[in-house]
Chains A and B, each alone.
Chain A
Amino acid sequence: MANVRVAIVAEPLDITSEIERVTAGRGDIGAVVTFTGLCRDEDGRLEALELEHYPGMAENEVRRIAEQAAGRWEISDITILHRHGKVRPGETIVLVVTASKHRHAAFESAEFVMDFLKTHAPFWKKEHTAAGAVSWVSARQSDDDAEERWNAPD
């Protein structure tokens, strides 16, 4: 079974230390794939995103997604870190690190994780604009479609 590391944090995420944490002292890993999801400024309109989460459930659900990926691909390590609270443009919202002997498992599992995080992890984004307006971000149909393709027969 893969090493699974999951955390929901309020502090900025550091990709370098997360890669180092996975690869330090290891000779068995041939591929590390990372995905970094960043907060956009929407052409200067956005001042911050505020991420609400369900504290009792979010970590469990993210862990469940990590374990599904670990059961489906031959990966040795999987890390999923997700911010909550206010995130400014340019800051990282989510970080996924997967490691495997060969690249395909690392690439595909990272993409799988992101597609399921979007639709299953209990987080909600609220936009704070530079003009002072606030509004909830709507879910996208394209995210549901992205998840659905993993359920189709290969």
Chain B
Amino acid sequence: MKLVYFAWVRERIGMAEETVEPPRNVETVQDLLGWLRTRGDAYDFALGESAAIRVALDHDHADHDASLSGVREVALFPPMTGG
């Protein structure tokens, strides 16, 4: 699964993208966020306030309870500030 990060999520984690293979029990976005936070302080700093994290699955906005089944690209980013 490819993960892509934007704005301060990208800066705090310290990279723009990576490919990961989460354990089998990671089924939803919420599970993924929990697992990522165990990977180090940078992830915990970036994703600790999970209510502030927005998600897109294969380029579509999604909620934290969405399933990751069949998803190829997960994007994690703060609330958007375009326009």
- B56 CB contacts on chain A under 8 angstroms: 54, 57, 122
- Rounded to whole Å, the gap between the CB of B11 and the closest CB of chain A is 8
User: Does any Cβ of A come within 8 Å of B34's Cβ?
Assistant: no
- B59 CB contacts on chain A under 8 angstroms: 54, 56-57, 60-61
- For chain B, the bracket of interface size reads 10 to 19
Evaluate contact between A123 and B61: CB separation under 8 angstroms: no
Q: Using an 8 Å CB-CB cutoff, how does the interface string of A12-44 with B read, 1 for contact, 0 for none? A: 000000000000000000000000010000000
Report if A124-B83 is in contact (Cβ < 8 Å); known contacts: A54-B56, A136-B8: no
User: Does any Cβ of A come within 8 Å of B75's Cβ?
Assistant: yes
Evaluate contact between A54 and B83: CB separation under 8 angstroms: no
> How long is the Cα–Cα vector from A94 to B75 in the complex, in angstroms?
23
Pick out which of these stretches binds chain B: A71-79, A97-105, A112-120: A112-120
* 6 A-B pairs closest in CB distance: A123-B82, A139-B79, A124-B7, A117-B83, A57-B59, A118-B83
Q: Which A residues contact B (CB, under 8 angstroms)?
A: 37, 51-54, 56-57, 60-61, 82, 93-94, 114, 117-126, 136-139, 143
Q: Which B residues contact A (CB, under 8 angstroms)?
A: 4, 6-8, 56, 59, 61, 73, 75, 77-83
